[in-house]
């Protein structure tokens, strides 16, 4: 993208354009290439200083049969954006686990385009967001299946919890499909913590805050299971969750 | 622990003229009940009588609004306490439908719960090792595999396993008063015996009490109540000894409650 | 004018004679009167004058026209449309004015024949023929742009229901119309809505008074009949407190070689405790197998659930048109208001459909359900595009969305673009989507039991769409089921 995006660009619809403008022009996206048959993993914590902006863009290519696990955690900065453009060749496997934890006025986004350009590739995106105060958490995910990319198997799952009266969650789990023999599922759910679950925990003696924290912990915990640097991600997420409750 | 004779009765729970509404609808309409330490009471009643409402009101579930009346538990005003404070005070609810909490293991949950209760009571927290010892003992006693205790709370458990898990939790948390809502529902005869024995083992003690809330008499074959009450249309309409349960079974609620 | 009309009629007749493989592709020989080709303030004035409109209406149209000049065609839909030359179309065509009709007997027999060819359900044919004891469905027939006949007006009047062409309503009930026209879909809402405001030729106005359950289902049949004539229908339905109405809309269009523009606006207003059920079966000419011809269908439909406990239910079966751009939406302002959207959209050959809904939750405890079933075949593209939005003050909102796509063949496309924007922590929003094809096993199983391939496909597709079809009134459901089968003929094998 050579010109500053506006909110009319669907991928920037919920962005903090002023913050983007301050960083404009953006550096070229970081390139990740996983060679045929290779396996790679990566993790990223977007934890810009208070008031700062951080935009991380990746152009990821998975050659035939390559496998790539990416785990991301967005929790710092006034505006944080993680953007992935992924190309999957035949039989490649891409897994994204993302967690967005925001409070105050934070605007945090995960924006993905996963292109299944050849047959038999799989992709799985699991995003969980917990937003407190006046924070905004956004997941814009697009899975594009090219003509002929048969036997594509893709899943997008986005779930968000709002803790504050002024918090916002946005989602767009988009599918663009040009092949008929594919499995493409997406699900999105936005809500508050299950009241019955909270009561159950409290009836066993947990304070309301602890019950909430425990439920939220469980809500995001699974995303980082088996991740590279799992402990680092879990610890950072836990610390931020403590702030949110 | 001192044995108390009949004239030294220690009051455990005193419900006086309790009215509870859900939204605009009044469900409990002046329910009164006294339970002393060492006693096991059973409340029986037809569907819609208000049995679950009584359970949830005593547990403090949001949405169950007490419009009038008073409940004293172990010398405290129960109704002013938050749900977790009621738990710390020694009140345990056995849920009719134990809630599934994906992602939270039983062990983590119960240790946090037990230590939160201990903290409120001014007791030192149990270490991981100490807790596991207690948990293992209780799981063993209920014939529950420790692997199940490590699994997420109630997730993927059968109906019987969920009820058994409630009993393990009761054993670990060691309450003063257990209110068990339809604990027998969904249990086959073997599970019923295990659950009944669990209740007796953990709760049949001079300083504890149990309120069994049930539709059927069959759990009472295993847990002999001292008193049986009939709940109908939001109030206790009849009280008696164990024979009342048999009478209800024989005659039906319509006859007795009329 | 007359000369143009004559020329056009001659052309229309010639075209009609060429018709072969589109069942309903015929042109009727009815005297037409045309506005000058092209769009200008003069066109707007011509239309308004033709309809004997009051001055406020003309002012309103002109204002919309001036808005329209400043606007741009929306570009965000997944549609590939050649530029439309708005100066190369006629904006008004009416059967020549005849005296006010007292009964159906006086309707031009040519029009009645058109109905017959259209396959208007037997029950309604009986109604049109005045058969005693037939189930009551009132038909306000929109033939091209002007309503020519209205049945059951009297019985409706006894119930206090106003069921009129919008032109009549503007003259007879100006206050009622003025109060709501453009309030649900403002004239500057979008390009096509602005265009409609400027040049709408006719349409329907319905008012259901407080506490009245409309004694019959209301039905309007739209036909596009004149070559190169855009169809700009305008519908306004107001359900007053505690009232109920079920409105049926069905469409077919004759065969044409040139693309035809259609930009309708439908506004629904629902007050306290009232309910509107709006059902549509749309099978306008989709173009030929090579993608030539077919209707361009740009429709703005929106319901304003203004009152508490108000409810609207949109059900649509979209099988026709070369291009569909249509998002029947619900603005749920009332406390406990309910919005529903049930949709089946079939595209085949070179059809393109970008359709869906918006559920705007402003009212506390408002609830919405979206069930969208997209079926793509041939070289077509179908897109579900939706928005579920929960305002910060709207506590207790619930939404459930189910979006399923079925692909027949590997040359089509099925797309899903669901936006979710939630600003209230007590909302519960759930969205699920699946994509599937008809499996060889399913086909074989059905065929082994004796169905031919096309029947098997129709059967499976109808099963896929069942949840939506069963929302339709009975006679529509039958028609819709047939349509699904017809639309997909030749798409498999």
pLDDT, position C492: 64
Q: Check whether B5 has a pLDDT greater than 90.
A: no
pLDDT, position B204: 95
Whose tokens are 């030192």? That residue is B124
Separation CA B72–CA C307 (nearest Å): 46
Q: Check whether C99 has a pLDDT greater than 60.
A: no
Q: Check whether A163 has a pLDDT greater than 70.
A: yes
User: Does residue B202 form part of some domain?
Assistant: yes
For the stretch C469-486, what's the b/e string if a residue is b when 16 or more beta carbons lie within 10 angstroms of its beta carbon? bebbbebbbebbbebbbe
C-chain CB neighbours of A169 within 8 Å are: 420-422
* pLDDT band with cut points at 50, 70 and 90 for residue C137: low
pLDDT, position A15: 94
Counting every residue written for chain B, the total comes to 258
User: Does residue B1 form part of some domain?
Assistant: no
Residues C419, A184: C-beta atoms closer than 8 Å: no
Phi and psi (nearest 5°) for B181? Answer: -90, 110
| CB nearest A208 (choices: B82, B152, B173) | B82
Report the CATH number at residue B91.
3.40.50.300
The ranges assigned to domains in chain A are 10-192
Residues A200, B62: C-beta atoms closer than 8 Å: no
Residue C325: burial class (beta carbons within 10 Å; 0-12, 13-18, 19+): buried
Choose the mutation target among A7, A113, A180 for the interface with C, i.e. most C CBs under 10 Å. Answer: A180
Residue C30: burial class (beta carbons within 10 Å; 0-12, 13-18, 19+): buried
Nearest chain A Cα to C395, which residue? Answer: A165
pLDDT, position B138: 93
For residue C353 the two structure tokens come to: 């459909």
Least confident interval from A176-185, B99-108, B198-207, B241-250: B99-108
What is chain A's alpha carbon radius of gyration, rounded to the nearest angstrom? 18
* DSSP conformation class of C37: S
C to B contact (≥3 Cβ pairs closer than 8 Å):
no
For residue A73 the two structure tokens come to: 């955690």
How far CA C107 is from CA of A239, C24, C100, C227, C335, in Å, comes to 77, 21, 10, 22, 45
Share of chain B above pLDDT 90, in %: 55
Instruction: Give the residue-averaged pLDDT of A5-27.
Output: 92
Q: For chain B, how many structural domains are there in total?
A: 1
Residue from C411, C408, C282, C261 nearest C350 by CA: C411
Separation CA B1–CA B208 (nearest Å): 11
B172 lies within 8 A of chain A by CB: no
pLDDT, position C132: 44
Residue from C325, C351, C323 nearest C487 by CA: C351
Instruction: Give the residue-averaged pLDDT of B130-148.
Output: 91
Q: Check whether B170 has a pLDDT greater than 70.
A: yes
User: Does residue B91 form part of some domain?
Assistant: yes
Q: Check whether B182 has a pLDDT greater than 70.
A: yes
Residues A180, C421: C-beta atoms closer than 8 Å: no
User: Does residue B142 form part of some domain?
Assistant: yes
Between C138 and A63, name the one with better pLDDT. A63
* pLDDT band with cut points at 50, 70 and 90 for residue C1: very low
pLDDT, position B146: 87
* Chains contacting chain B through 3 or more C-beta pairs under 8 A: A
Q: Give me the half-sphere count of Cα atoms (radius 13 Å) on the Cβ side of residue A15.
A: 26
Separation CA B52–CA B94 (nearest Å): 11
Instruction: Give the residue-averaged pLDDT of C483-493.
Output: 72
Residues A190, C422: C-beta atoms closer than 8 Å: yes
pLDDT, position C140: 58
B-chain CB neighbours of A159 within 8 Å are: none
Is cis: bond before A25, omega within 30 of 0?
Answer: yes
Tell me the nearest-neighbour CA distance from A112 into chain B, angstroms: 26
Tell me the nearest-neighbour CA distance from A218 into chain B, angstroms: 4
pLDDT, position C139: 59
- Structural domain of B71: 6-257
For residue C255 the two structure tokens come to: 């065969």
Tell me the nearest-neighbour CA distance from A206 into chain B, angstroms: 5
* pLDDT band with cut points at 50, 70 and 90 for residue C29: low
Give the three-state DSSP class for B40. strand
What is chain C's alpha carbon radius of gyration, rounded to the nearest angstrom? 22
* pLDDT band with cut points at 50, 70 and 90 for residue B111: confident
Least confident interval from B31-40, B97-106, C425-434: B97-106
Q: How far, rounded to the nearest angstrom, does the alpha carbon of residue C286 sit from its chain's CA centroid?
A: 15
Strand partners, C369: C340, C400
* pLDDT band with cut points at 50, 70 and 90 for residue C145: very low
User: Does residue B57 form part of some domain?
Assistant: yes
Tens of pLDDT along B199-242? 999 999 999 999 999 888 889 999 999 999 999 999 999 999 99
Q: What is the dihedral of CA B223, B227, B230, B234, to 10 degrees?
A: -100
pLDDT, position C458: 81
Tens of pLDDT along C320-348? 889 999 999 999 999 999 999 999 999 99
- Which residues have CB under 8 Å from C6's CB, separation 6+? none
Least confident interval from A91-100, B24-33, C228-237: C228-237
Residues C423, A166: C-beta atoms closer than 8 Å: yes
Residues A218, B102: C-beta atoms closer than 8 Å: yes
Residues B101, A205: C-beta atoms closer than 8 Å: no
Residues A199, B59: C-beta atoms closer than 8 Å: yes
User: Does residue B39 form part of some domain?
Assistant: yes
Report the interhelical angle of C453-464 vs C474-487 (nearest 10°). Answer: 130
Share of chain C above pLDDT 70, in %: 74
pLDDT, position C21: 41
Nearest chain C Cα to A133, which residue? Answer: C425
Q: Check whether A62 has a pLDDT greater than 80.
A: yes
B to A contact (≥3 Cβ pairs closer than 8 Å):
yes
Neighbours of A120 (CB within 10 A): 18
* DSSP conformation class of A10: G
Tens of pLDDT along C338-380? 999 999 999 999 999 999 999 999 999 999 999 999 999 999 9
Helices in C160-286 by DSSP H: which ranges? 166-172, 174-180, 191-199
A130 lies within 8 A of chain B by CB: no
The CA-based angle C324-C329-C335, given to 5 degrees, is 175
For residue C66 the two structure tokens come to: 């001036």
Most confident of A57-71, C74-88, C163-177, C259-273: A57-71
Give the three-state DSSP class for C448. helix
């Amino acid at each position: 993208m050579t010109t500053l995006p506006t909110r009319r660009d669907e991928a920037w619809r919920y962005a903090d354009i002023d913050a983007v403008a301050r960083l404009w022009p953006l550096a070229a996206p970081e390139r990740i290439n996983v060679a045929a048959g290779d396996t790679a993993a990566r993790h990223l914590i977007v934890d810009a200083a208070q008031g700062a902006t951080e935009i991380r863009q990746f152009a990821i290519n998975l050659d035939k049969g390559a496998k790539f696990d990416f785990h991301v955690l967005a929790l710092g900065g006034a505006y944080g954006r993680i953007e992935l453009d992924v190309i999957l060749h035949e039989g490649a496997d891409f897994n994204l686990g993302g967690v967005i934890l925001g409070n105050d006025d934070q605007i945090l986004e995960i924006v993905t385009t996963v292109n299944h350009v050849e047959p038999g590739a799989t992709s799985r995106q699991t995003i969980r967001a917990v937003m407190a105060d006046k924070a905004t958490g956004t997941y814009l995910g697009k899975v594009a299946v090219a003509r002929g990319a048969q036997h594509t198997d893709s899943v997008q799952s986005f779930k968000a919890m709002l803790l504050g009266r002024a918090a916002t969650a946005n989602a767009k789990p988009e599918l663009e499909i040009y092949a008929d023999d594919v499995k493409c599922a997406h699900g999105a759910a936005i809500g508050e913590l299950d009241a019955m679950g909270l009561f159950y925990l409290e009836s066993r003696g947990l304070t309301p805050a602890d019950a909430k924290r425990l439920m939220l912990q469980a809500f995001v915990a699974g995303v980082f299971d088996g991740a590279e640097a799992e402990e680092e991600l879990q610890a950072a997420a836990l610390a931020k969750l403590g702030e949110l409750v | 622990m001192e044995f108390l004779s009949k004239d030294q009765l220690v009051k455990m729970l005193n419900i006086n003229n309790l009215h509870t509404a859900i939204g605009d609808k009044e469900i409990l309409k002046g329910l009164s009940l006294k339970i002393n330490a060492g006693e096991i009471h059973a409340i029986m009643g037809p569907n819609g009588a208000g049995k679950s409402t009584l359970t949830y009101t005593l547990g403090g579930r949001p949405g169950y609004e007490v419009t009038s009346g008073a409940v004293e538990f172990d010398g405290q005003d129960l109704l002013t306490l938050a749900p977790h404070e009621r738990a710390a005070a020694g009140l345990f609810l056995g849920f009719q439908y134990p809630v599934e909490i994906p992602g939270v293991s039983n062990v983590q949950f119960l240790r946090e719960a037990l230590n939160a209760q201990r903290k409120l009571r001014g007791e030192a927290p149990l270490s991981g090792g100490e807790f596991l010892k207690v948990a293992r003992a209780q799981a063993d006693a209920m014939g529950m595999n420790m692997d199940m205790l490590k699994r997420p709370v109630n997730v993927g458990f059968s109906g019987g396993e969920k009820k058994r898990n409630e009993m393990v939790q009761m054993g670990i948390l060691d309450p003063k008063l257990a209110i068990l809502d339809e604990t027998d529902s969904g249990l086959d005869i073997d599970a019923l015996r295990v659950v009944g024995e669990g209740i007796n083992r953990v709760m049949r003690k001079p300083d504890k009490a149990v309120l069994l809330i049930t539709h059927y008499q069959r759990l009472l074959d295993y847990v002999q109540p001292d008193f049986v009450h009939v709940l109908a249309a939001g109030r206790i309409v009849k009280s008696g000894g164990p024979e009342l349960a048999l009478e209800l079974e024989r005659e039906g609620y319509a006859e007795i409650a009329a | 004018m007359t000369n143009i009309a004559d020329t056009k009629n001659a052309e229309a007749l010639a075209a009609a004679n060429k018709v072969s493989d589109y069942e309903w592709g015929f042109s009727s020989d009815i005297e037409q009167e045309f506005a000058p080709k092209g769009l200008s303030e003069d066109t707007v004035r011509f239309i308004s004058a033709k309809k004997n409109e009051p001055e406020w209406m003309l002012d309103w149209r002109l204002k919309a026209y001036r808005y329209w000049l400043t606007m741009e065609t929306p570009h965000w839909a997944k549609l590939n449309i050649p530029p439309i030359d708005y100066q190369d179309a006629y904006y008004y065509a009416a059967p020549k004015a005849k005296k006010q009709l007292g009964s159906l007997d006086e309707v031009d027999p040519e029009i009645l024949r058109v109905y017959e060819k259209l396959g208007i359900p037997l029950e309604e044919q009986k109604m049109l023929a005045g058969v005693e004891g037939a189930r009551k469905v009132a038909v306000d027939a929109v033939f091209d742009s002007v309503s020519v006949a209205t049945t059951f007006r009297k019985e409706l009047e006894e119930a206090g229901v106003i069921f009129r062409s919008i032109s009549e309503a503007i003259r007879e009930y100006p206050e009622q119309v003025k109060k709501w026209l453009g309030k649900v879909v403002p004239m500057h809402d979008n390009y096509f809505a602005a265009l409609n405001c400027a040049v709408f030729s006719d349409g329907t106005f319905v008012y259901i008074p407080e506490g009245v359950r409309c004694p019959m289902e209301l039905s309007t049949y739209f036909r596009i009949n004149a070559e190169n004539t855009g169809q700009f229908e305008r519908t306004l339905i107001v359900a007053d407190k505690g009232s109920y109405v079920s409105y049926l809309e069905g469409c077919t269009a004759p065969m044409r070689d040139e693309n035809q523009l259609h930009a309708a606006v439908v506004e629904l207003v629902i007050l306290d405790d009232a309910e509107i059920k709006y059902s549509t079966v749309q099978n306008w000419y989709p173009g030929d197998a090579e993608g030539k011809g077919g209707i361009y269908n740009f429709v703005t439909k929106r319901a304003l659930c203004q009152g508490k406990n108000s409810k609207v239910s949109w059900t649509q079966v979209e099988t026709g048109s070369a291009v569909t751009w249509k998002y029947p939406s619900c603005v749920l302002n009332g406390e406990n208001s309910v919005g529903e959207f049930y949709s089946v959209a079939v595209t085949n050959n070179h059809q393109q459909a970008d359709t869906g809904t918006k559920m705007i939750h402003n009212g506390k405890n408002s609830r919405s359900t979206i069930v969208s079933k997209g079926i793509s075949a041939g070289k077509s593209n179908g897109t579900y595009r939706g928005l579920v939005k929960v305002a910060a003050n709207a506590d207790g909102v619930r939404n459930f969305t189910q979006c399923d796509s079925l692909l027949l063949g590997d040359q089509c496309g099925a797309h899903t673009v669901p936006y979710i924007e939630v600003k209230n922590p007590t909302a519960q929003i759930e969205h699920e989507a699946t994509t599937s094809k008809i499996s060889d096993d399913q086909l074989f199983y059905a065929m082994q039991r004796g169905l031919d391939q096309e029947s098997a496909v129709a059967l499976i597709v109808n099963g896929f769409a069942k949840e939506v079809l069963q929302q339709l009134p009975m006679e529509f459901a039958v028609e819709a089921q047939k349509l699904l089968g017809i639309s997909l003929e030749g798409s498999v094998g």
